[in-house]
A and B are shown apart, each in its own frame.
Chain A
Amino acid sequence: MAYPEKFRYSKEHEWVKQEDGKARMGITNYAQDELGDVVYVELPAMGAKVKASDSFITVESVKAASDVFAPVSGKVVEVNRELESHPELVNQSPHERGWMAVLEMANPDELDKLMTAEEYEEYVGEL
């Protein structure tokens, strides 16, 4: 599965898609493959304020429970309720239907610190 060109990526395997001042985010294809079948996603509270690299979502797979970190700072303005009944979307469609939250960015400059698709692909290639 290709990593979308327009997204930015964190070292902890989250992706971010910029949508007019907001940031939609989820976990990458690499992350879902490492986790195995996802059975539960604990979503953040609406309105919660997070700092970049705060742990704010928990993903449970049959292997383990893992933290998902905020790729940028901001306020949670949307969460993907569909994951509550269909956690498998994280495996089936990590970059689209498996999105987890939308953040109203506190500091859009933080996006520049994240990797491009090309850089991320190279990064996971070395893991």
Chain B
Amino acid sequence: MKRAGLTIFDQGAPGRRALRIPGSDVPTEPLNKLIPEGLLRKTEPELPEVSQIELVRHYTALSNKNFGVDTGVYPLGSCTMKYNPRINEETARIPQLALSHPFQGEELSQGNLELIYDLAEILKAIVGLHSITLQPAAGAHGEFVGMLLIKKYFEEHGELDKRKVILLPDSAHGTNPASANIAGFTVVELPSDERGMVNMTALKERLNDTVAGIMLTVPNTLGIFEEDILEIARLVHEVGGFCYLDGANLNSIVGRVRPGDFGIDIVHFNLHKTFSTPHGGGGPGAGPVAVVEKLAPYLPVPAVVKQGDKYLLDDDRPKSIGRLHSYYGNFGILVRAYTYIRSLGDEGMSAVSGNAVLNANYLMNKLKVHYKLPFDRLCKHEFVLSGKDIAEGIHTMDIAKRLIDYGIHPPTVYFPLIVPEALMIEPTETVSKEELDELADAYIQISKEAKENPDLLKTAPHNMTVGRLDDVKAAREPVLRSPKKN
């Protein structure tokens, strides 16, 4: 397959086309009458010129090289790569939803608005909070919205000059400090203790009236539930700060506990994680943000409200932080998440978290004999092993590359930073026991290979169309363009 490695630009021939567009049957204007001459390009753009069959073969070949949840087990820590039920795609393709347009107006969008309204009510009930926006496009976008809400609150209460600090455990998701920083806060890090939880002494030392809030991931990135959460929330509230919960790991507690009940003021959801909408290719996602009553006036506009039997878009919220997304967020993703929740129901959603936690603990206990487990306690949906000292000269990256040969997607590696050579594994509830056993066997086999035949790991993968890629060279000397054709 000589052509297999070619980019689309390296294929085809001048003048070749995948589609021929018929001539226009309405009067046309010459381009230079519509766009000033100086802004028009003088040369033809260098676009690929390929036939339809070349085009189809090219993308089919690429899709065959791809790995996704539909191909195999994908236990990528903190990403919740669960199965995305096909019914989600069915509903998202209902023409009345798929072909609707935001400019058709409220009157003709009643179904869409009702779905948004109902989903908002369900999500609020899941986390036990007062109000919500479904606009943010992803988790980090939700974090940023949460930070803006805190900022706006203190601005309205004349405390913005004083409230500068956001506290963050050193096990936080990497996006948390970035979101707090971009919103204008100063990040102060909290160390973890030997349990892998927030160090309470350090927290107390750092708490004062400059603290605007704390951002917690519960369970945290080690997969451990913050046992002191009630005390943390009480202490932060005592100095007048807010408690933000990064809901990336909601999959392990959904249907079991409600963050609003343990003192959380703001939660973001990742609909593309816990609520099974597709992700992994860069989106689109959705990161709704739910808040307590006192933050409700600041939520983004427009809000979807219900008046009698009618659903309306409400823009009249003078204290709002404004609009965070065009129209009303990634609507197609909302349809899928709504379908997922409605098809599982209450019992189904509790079973999700129950099985996710059971699967992770089963796997953790099988693997901890063969790999270091720095925080050995009951985990939630994920756990973190260390590849350190598995064998002389072997790193976590080598273990990850070797897993590919076993047809298993590698775990999240080198994160969280507090575990050296971290391997972060999240099986999710949608793997079967047989798959968990296969997964464990592969990890165990690799731990033996590391000692007996380390070169097998260092040069992995061996069974792929390409071998070990030089990621250092790629980062240092990126080639971002196809070489120019003569």
For A87, the chain B residues whose CB sits under 8 A away are 476
For B475, the chain A residues whose CB sits under 8 A away are 39-40, 60, 62
For A37, the chain B residues whose CB sits under 8 A away are 472
The CA of A69 and the CA of B252, in the complex, are separated in Å by 37
B459-486 vs A: 1/0 string, CB under 8 Å? 0000000000001100110000000000
With CB as the reference atom, state the residue of chain A lying closest to B420.
Answer: A34
Q: Does B472 lie within 8 Å of A39, measured CB to CB?
A: yes
A88 at the interface (CB under 8 A from B): yes
A2 at the interface (CB under 8 A from B): no
The CA of A53 and the CA of B415, in the complex, are separated in Å by 24
Q: Does B476 lie within 8 Å of A39, measured CB to CB?
A: yes
B417 at the interface (CB under 8 A from A): yes
With CB as the reference atom, state the residue of chain A lying closest to B417.
Answer: A64
Q: Does B417 lie within 8 Å of A62, measured CB to CB?
A: no
Q: Does B414 lie within 8 Å of A64, measured CB to CB?
A: yes
A26-51 vs B: 1/0 string, CB under 8 Å? 00000000000101100000000000
The CA of A88 and the CA of B417, in the complex, are separated in Å by 22
For A64, the chain B residues whose CB sits under 8 A away are 414-415, 417
With CB as the reference atom, state the residue of chain A lying closest to B395.
Answer: A36
Number of interface residues of A (CB under 8 A): 9
B396-444 CB contacts (< 8 Å) to partner A: 414-415, 417
Tell me the interface secondary structure of chain B in the complex: helix
A11 at the interface (CB under 8 A from B): no
With CB as the reference atom, state the residue of chain B lying closest to A40.
Answer: B475
For B417, the chain A residues whose CB sits under 8 A away are 64
With CB as the reference atom, state the residue of chain A lying closest to B476.
Answer: A39
A81 at the interface (CB under 8 A from B): no
For B414, the chain A residues whose CB sits under 8 A away are 63-64
Number of interface residues of B (CB under 8 A): 7
With CB as the reference atom, state the residue of chain A lying closest to B471.
Answer: A62
The CA of A39 and the CA of B473, in the complex, are separated in Å by 8
The CA of A60 and the CA of B415, in the complex, are separated in Å by 14
The CA of A63 and the CA of B387, in the complex, are separated in Å by 14
The CA of A39 and the CA of B470, in the complex, are separated in Å by 12
B9-53 CB contacts (< 8 Å) to partner A: none
The CA of A37 and the CA of B474, in the complex, are separated in Å by 12
The CA of A87 and the CA of B472, in the complex, are separated in Å by 11
Say how far B458's CB is from chain A's closest CB, in angstroms. Answer: 15
For A88, the chain B residues whose CB sits under 8 A away are 476
Say how far A31's CB is from chain B's closest CB, in angstroms. Answer: 14
A53-84 CB contacts (< 8 Å) to partner B: 60, 62-64
Most chain B C-beta atoms within 10 Å of own C-beta, residue among A37, A60, A88: A37
The CA of A64 and the CA of B414, in the complex, are separated in Å by 8
The CA of A87 and the CA of B477, in the complex, are separated in Å by 11
For B476, the chain A residues whose CB sits under 8 A away are 39-40, 87-88
Say how far B164's CB is from chain A's closest CB, in angstroms. Answer: 16
B359-371 vs A: 1/0 string, CB under 8 Å? 0000000000000
Say how far B479's CB is from chain A's closest CB, in angstroms. Answer: 14
For A40, the chain B residues whose CB sits under 8 A away are 475-476
Say how far B171's CB is from chain A's closest CB, in angstroms. Answer: 14
Say how far A65's CB is from chain B's closest CB, in angstroms. Answer: 8
The CA of A110 and the CA of B472, in the complex, are separated in Å by 37
With CB as the reference atom, state the residue of chain B lying closest to A65.
Answer: B174
With CB as the reference atom, state the residue of chain B lying closest to A91.
Answer: B472
The CA of A37 and the CA of B470, in the complex, are separated in Å by 11
The CA of A98 and the CA of B417, in the complex, are separated in Å by 24
The CA of A63 and the CA of B400, in the complex, are separated in Å by 13
For B471, the chain A residues whose CB sits under 8 A away are 62
For B472, the chain A residues whose CB sits under 8 A away are 37, 39, 62
The CA of A63 and the CA of B417, in the complex, are separated in Å by 9
The CA of A40 and the CA of B415, in the complex, are separated in Å by 19
Say how far A13's CB is from chain B's closest CB, in angstroms. Answer: 14
Say how far B330's CB is from chain A's closest CB, in angstroms. Answer: 28
With CB as the reference atom, state the residue of chain B lying closest to A87.
Answer: B476
For A63, the chain B residues whose CB sits under 8 A away are 414
The CA of A62 and the CA of B417, in the complex, are separated in Å by 13
With CB as the reference atom, state the residue of chain A lying closest to B474.
Answer: A39
The CA of A64 and the CA of B415, in the complex, are separated in Å by 9
With CB as the reference atom, state the residue of chain B lying closest to A66.
Answer: B417
The CA of A63 and the CA of B412, in the complex, are separated in Å by 11
The CA of A8 and the CA of B472, in the complex, are separated in Å by 30
The CA of A121 and the CA of B414, in the complex, are separated in Å by 25
With CB as the reference atom, state the residue of chain B lying closest to A86.
Answer: B476
Most chain B C-beta atoms within 10 Å of own C-beta, residue among A60, A62, A88: A62
B178-220 vs A: 1/0 string, CB under 8 Å? 0000000000000000000000000000000000000000000
Say how far B232's CB is from chain A's closest CB, in angstroms. Answer: 25
For A62, the chain B residues whose CB sits under 8 A away are 471-472, 475
With CB as the reference atom, state the residue of chain B lying closest to A85.
Answer: B476
The CA of A88 and the CA of B473, in the complex, are separated in Å by 10
The CA of A63 and the CA of B414, in the complex, are separated in Å by 6
For B415, the chain A residues whose CB sits under 8 A away are 64
The CA of A15 and the CA of B415, in the complex, are separated in Å by 26
Closest 5 CB pairs of A and B: A39-B475, A37-B472, A63-B414, A39-B476, A62-B471
Instruction: Pick 16 A–B contacts, CB within 8 A, sort by A.
Output: A37-B472, A39-B472, A39-B475, A39-B476, A40-B475, A40-B476, A60-B475, A62-B471, A62-B472, A62-B475, A63-B414, A64-B414, A64-B415, A64-B417, A87-B476, A88-B476
9 new A-B contacts, CB < 8 A, other than A62-B471, A88-B476, are A39-B475, A39-B476, A40-B475, A40-B476, A62-B475, A63-B414, A64-B415, A64-B417, A87-B476
